[in-house]
């Protein structure tokens, strides 16, 4: 169904690829597409969030290698290709006032350096479509916000013959989406469904936060319920980050399939028209051969810019 298409999913840390758009990526792989996940950092400064592993001596000794091993297992569960962009986790600053970010971390790297690294990946993999985070990063982690900034810069530069000419032949991805898997509508639907079923919902605080923040616009809903199990295997591969008894798994999977059988995206930039409530991120591209030809042209013009109010 998607034979010949290529999707590049750009994420901040290992485990983000499994919690944002994972079932959709597994579905596209099963349909014949190539999917490559980019991890901008190694997640070296991430806390161990699984209580059962917090005092594991192997993890405490070499968290960086542990997270690399977890990422390899998650990639295998999803069937995706994987690239480390090579930058160092910035950590999540805490306190009032917030402490400065550590020297040399991803969030402090010059955009010319980080964008060039991602342009190299784009020009080698030659994706037709990219996914990344919105301008808020999905949540305000400095690496997530930087991932947005780098993705937008690299999307713009990859097809420009004059930008980073040493970094490979120009290639213009045709569409860019923001991951909105944890949209307000989905989380609220989960909460309401669990309450109606007489189950304790872990989503009450999340719903309140969404109502304070406001909802993002969803343009694309990809049906992928048959691949929720692949997503769950990928999540569990990140054992330091995902507690199997935690909130990720409180929603019964049969209820989830009935309530919200899609993963959702927000179209941000596109060189082809965005269809009304798409069900496929490759919608509007024609055949892979047609998309390949378009991606090498120098006369392309954006026809959709979701950043600009219309």
Provide mean pLDDT across the span 114-122: 98
Residue 178: strand pairing partners: 132, 266
Report residue 310's pLDDT band, with 50, 70 and 90 as the boundaries: very low
Query: Could you read off the pLDDT of 222-243 as tens digits, one per residue?
Result: 999 999 999 999 999 999 999 9
Three-state SS at 211: helix
Helices (H), the chain: 16-19, 22-30, 57-61, 63-78, 111-125, 142-158, 184-196, 204-213, 228-237, 253-259, 288-295
106 φ, ψ to 5°? -55, -45
In 3D space, the residue among 125, 123, 215 whose CA is nearest the CA of residue 178 turns out to be 215
Task: Look up residue 44 and give its two tokens.
Answer: 């070296």
pLDDT at 143 over 80: yes
How do the domains of the chain map onto residue ranges? 6-182+218-299, 184-216
CA distances from 99 to 96, 104, 183 (A): 8, 15, 30
Query: Could you read off the pLDDT of 280-308 as tens digits, one per residue?
Result: 999 999 999 999 999 999 999 999 999 86
Residue 132: strand pairing partners: 178
How far is Cα 259 from Cα 163, in angstroms, rounded to an integer?
45
Diameter of the chain measured on Cα atoms: 60
Q: What is the CA radius of gyration of the chain?
A: 19
pLDDT at 140 over 90: no
Task: Look up residue 94 and give its two tokens.
Answer: 């805490």
Task: Look up residue 89 and give its two tokens.
Answer: 């986790």
In CATH terms, the superfamily for domain 6-182+218-299 is LmbE-like (3.40.50.10320)
- The residue whose two tokens read 């304790």 is 200
Query: Could you read off the pLDDT of 1-30 as tens digits, one per residue?
Result: 899 999 999 999 999 999 999 999 999 999
pLDDT at 309 over 70: no
In 3D space, the residue among 150, 166, 163 whose CA is nearest the CA of residue 109 turns out to be 150
CA distances from 274 to 45, 254, 297 (A): 38, 31, 20
Burial of residue 59, with CB atoms counted within 10 A of its CB: 0-12 exposed, 13-18 middle, 19 or more buried: middle
Query: Could you read off the pLDDT of 56-112 as tens digits, one per residue?
Result: 999 989 999 999 999 999 999 999 999 999 999 999 998 888 899 999 999 999 999
Q: Are 12 and 133 in contact (CB under 8 A)?
A: yes
Residue 39: strand pairing partners: 11, 84
Residues in the chain: 310
């Amino acid at each position: 169904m998607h034979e010949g298409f290529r999707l590049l999913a750009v994420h901040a840390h290992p485990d983000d690829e499994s919690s944002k758009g994972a079932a959709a990526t597994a579905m596209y792989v099963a349909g014949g597409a190539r999917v490559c996940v980019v991890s901008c950092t190694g997640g070296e400064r991430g806390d161990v969030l699984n209580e059962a592993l917090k005092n594991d001596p192997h993890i405490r000794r070499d968290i960086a290698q542990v997270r690399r091993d977890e990422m390899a297992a998650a990639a295998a569960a999803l069937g995706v290709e994987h690239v480390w962009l090579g930058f160092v986790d910035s950590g999540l600053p805490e306190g009032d006032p917030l402490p400065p970010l550590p020297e040399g971390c991803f969030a402090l790297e010059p955009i010319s350096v980080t964008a060039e690294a991602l342009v190299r990946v784009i020009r080698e993999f030659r994706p037709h479509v990219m996914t990344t985070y919105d301008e808020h990063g999905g949540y305000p982690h400095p690496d997530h916000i930087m991932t947005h900034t780098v993705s937008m810069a690299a999307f713009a530069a990859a097809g420009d013959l004059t930008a980073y000419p040493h970094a490979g032949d120009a290639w213009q991805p045709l569409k860019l989406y923001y991951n909105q898997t944890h949209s307000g509508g989905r989380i609220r639907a989960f909460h309401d469904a669990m309450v109606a079923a007489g189950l304790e919902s872990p989503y009450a605080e999340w719903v309140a936060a969404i109502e304070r923040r406001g909802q993002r616009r969803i343009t694309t809903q990809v049906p992928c319920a048959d691949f929720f199990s692949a997503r769950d295997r990928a999540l569990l591969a990140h054992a330091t980050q995902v507690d199997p008894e935690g909130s990720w798994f409180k929603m019964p999977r049969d209820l989830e399939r009935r309530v919200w059988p899609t993963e959702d995206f927000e179209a941000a930039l596109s060189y082809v028209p965005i269809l009304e409530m798409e069900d496929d991120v490759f919608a509007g591209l024609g055949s892979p051969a047609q998309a390949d030809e378009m991606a090498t042209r120098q006369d392309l013009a954006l026809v959709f810019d979701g950043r600009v109010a219309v």
